[in-house]
Amino acid sequence: MRFLIVLMFFLLYFKSFTQSFRISIFTESTIKSITLQPGLGTYFLMNDTGFVRKIVPSDFITVNLGISNKLDVKLNNNYLFSSIKVYLFHEKSENNLKLKPVTPSFKERSYEGDFELLNKGGKIQIINLIDIDQYLEGVVESESGLGQNLEYYKVQTVISRTYALKYKNKHLSDGFNLCDRVHCQAYQHRRLSATVIDSAVRQTKDLIMLDEKKKLYATYFHANCGGQTCQPDYVWNEKLEGFDSFKDTFCIRTKQARWEKRIPINEWKAFMVNKYDFPIWDSLSNYQLYNFQQSERHAFFIHPFYGIPLRDLRETFQLKSTFFSCSIEGESVLLKGRGFGHGVGLCQEGAMNMSRKGYDYQQILLFYYPKMQLYIQTDRLNRKM
Ligand SMILES: [Zn+2]
Ligand SMILES: [Zn+2]
């Protein structure tokens, strides 16, 4: 009987490798101690030698860093075993597990799927082995928040699915596919409340975006373009096909459409002179230094001749966007800007507004990614919709 149980879980284990994504969770934290407790359903606890026992919602296990690259595991505060790896497998797909880092202390999060823990160079690495649709529900809720409508959530789902498949090897050398940070895609928890997200994921099942070369689309997006999207070479110095700049009127009356920032005149001047050798002795240049107008997006401040990329100013002065004009106000340079983010690809607030005006997810995706085509991803080939 015990042999059969072990065999069953090893089969489950390898099955999950082929059908699930491996997502690193709590990636940004150096966790040395964590408790895990089923929020719903039963989990099967395994170590290096096989099945240990069932864990039910009244149980909690604590995993601490041990010696010789091992993890020490306690059940309800009683020592259970030490092992190189610790696994928790769900009994039913709707099960979820609550994870609460103790050292350092962080807020509890809950996730669906299976879990693998390992002592990785002085921290506990936690991998969530998760079915792609369950993963997408968590990502869409983390990336778009609550309160959006079905068509917008479908937009975000297709983008996130395409991204996950395109970059599934991004962290392969770290032992997982993607991390839970914005570096890959935010995945802060399972879907907690919005059932409409569940519908968005099911109604766009297996849908992906391909470019003209039938490759997975580069699904760049940002919070607000300020009324005009940005050419990729303004941001990253490289041309990307299918991402020409265009006007977007859907976002200009939204939350992040406009911003202001004041920078002391001396700080502004010193940076330009010290870093770019700016010719303040030239009266016209000196005037333009404080009076720059950008009615359409530029790549450079004032003129390319001065060699000051706007993206450098955005980074140095931590500006919401590169789409700004400036003037003098008292002792400060007043920057009046538009939009939030790099401006390439889909504008989230514009897309949200389009969905509220009645556009469906395909129209929204085509507006922001004009060269994309939707395909249904099957095991062997992609079928055009
Ligand atoms: Zn990452
Ligand atoms: Zn926009």
Strands 114-120 and 178-179: unpaired
Compute, in angstroms, the gap from residue 325 CA to the centroid of ligand 1. 34
Query: For residue 12, what pLDDT band results from cuts at 50, 70 and 90?
Result: low
In terms of domains, do 363 and 287 share one? no
- Is residue 220 located within the same domain as residue 362? yes
Judged by its nearest atom, the ligand closest to the C-alpha of residue 346 is 2
Who surrounds ion ligand 1 at CB < 5 A? 179, 183-184
Residue 343 alpha carbon to ligand 2 centre in Å: 8
- CA angle, 147 then 148 then 151, to 5°: 155
What is the 184 CA–ligand 2 centroid distance (Å)?
Answer: 22
Q: How far is the CA of 20 from the centre of ligand 1 (A)?
A: 17
How close is the Cα of 123 to the center of ligand 1, in Å? 17
Residues 213 and 352 in one domain: yes
The beta strand positions in 157-220, using DSSP E, are 178-179, 207-210
In a domain, 150, yes or no: no
CA dist 115 to 22, 54, 110, 159, Å? Answer: 9, 14, 12, 26
Q: Which domain holds residue 324?
A: 258-338
Q: Kindly state whether residue 234 falls inside one of the protein's structural domains.
A: yes
Asked, for residue 367, whether it belongs to a domain, the answer is yes
Same domain, 22 and 72: yes
Q: Answer yes or no: is 170 within a domain.
A: no
Task: Kindly list the protein residues that place their beta carbon closer than 5 angstroms to ligand 2, a single-atom ion.
Answer: 225, 248, 251, 347, 350
- Give residue 179 CA to ligand 1 midpoint distance, Å: 4
> How much distance in Å is there from the Cα of 244 to the middle of ligand 2?
14
**CA dihedral sign of residues 138, 140, 146, 150:** negative
What is the mean predicted confidence (pLDDT) over 19-44?
A: 94
Please give the distance, rounded to the nearest whole angstrom, from the Cα atom of residue 205 to the centre of ligand 2.
27
Tokens of 295: 């009615």
111 and 236 share a domain? no
- Kindly tell me if the per-residue pLDDT of 114 is higher than 70: yes
If asked whether residues 297 and 268 sit together in one domain, one would say yes
Query: In this structure, are residues 189 and 110 in contact, taking their beta carbons and an 8 Å threshold?
Result: yes
* Ligand with minimal distance to 348 CA: 2
Give the ligand at the shortest distance from the Cα of 179. Answer: 1
| DSSP per-residue string spanning 181-196 | STTS----SS--S-HH
The overall average pLDDT reported for the chain is 92
- Residue 352 CA to ligand 2 center (angstroms) comes to 10
What is the full DSSP assignment across 333-381?
EEEEEE-BS---SEEHHHHHHHHHTT--HHHHHHHHSTT-EEEEE-SS-
Which of the ligands is closest to the CA of residue 338? Answer: 2
Ligand 1 centre and the CA of 59: distance in Å?
Answer: 32
Would you say residue 98 lies in a domain? yes
**How remote is the CA of residue 338 from the centroid of ligand 2, in Å?**
10
- 236 lies in the same domain as 272: no
Report if residue 30 sits inside a domain: yes
| 79 and 216, same domain (yes or no) | no
In which region does residue 3 sit, left (phi positive, over 0), alpha (psi from -120 to 50) or beta (all else)?
alpha
> What is the tens place of the pLDDT at every residue in 238-283?
888 888 899 999 999 988 899 999 999 999 999 999 999 999 999 9
By CB neighbour count within 10 A (0-12 exposed, 13-18 middle, 19+ buried), where does 325 fall?
middle
Of 131, 163, 184, the residue that ends a domain is 131
Percent of the chain with pLDDT over 70: 94
The CB density around residue 126, as the number of other CB atoms within 10 Å, is: 26
**CB-based burial label for 376 (10 Å; 0-12, 13-18, 19+):** middle
User: Which numbered ligand comes closest to the C-alpha of 169?
Assistant: 1
The CA 226 to ligand 2 mean position distance, Å, reads 5
Shortest-distance ligand to the CA of residue 167: 1
Number of domains in the chain: 3
Sequence-distant (≥ 6) Cβ neighbours of residue 305 within 8 angstroms: none
Rounded distance from Cα 247 to ligand 2 centre (Å): 8
Quick check: 16 pLDDT over 50? no
Measured in Å, residue 307 CA sits from the centre of ligand 1 at 32
Q: In 3D, which of 130, 167, 158 has the Cα closest to residue 24?
A: 130
Q: Report CA(222)–ligand 2 centroid distance (Å).
A: 9
Share of the chain above pLDDT 90, in %: 85
Does residue 347 share a domain with residue 223?
Answer: yes
72 lies in the same domain as 217: no
Q: Give yes or no for residue 86 having a pLDDT over 90.
A: yes
Q: Which pLDDT value is given to residue 256?
A: 85
Model pTM score: 0.88
Answer with the one of 131, 165, 195 that is the final residue of a domain. 131
**Centre of ligand 2 from the C-alpha of residue 367, in Å:** 11
pLDDT, position 367: 97
Residues 300 and 239 in one domain: no
Rounded to the nearest whole angstrom, what is the distance from the C-alpha of residue 214 to the centroid of ligand 2? Answer: 27
3-state secondary structure of 286: helix
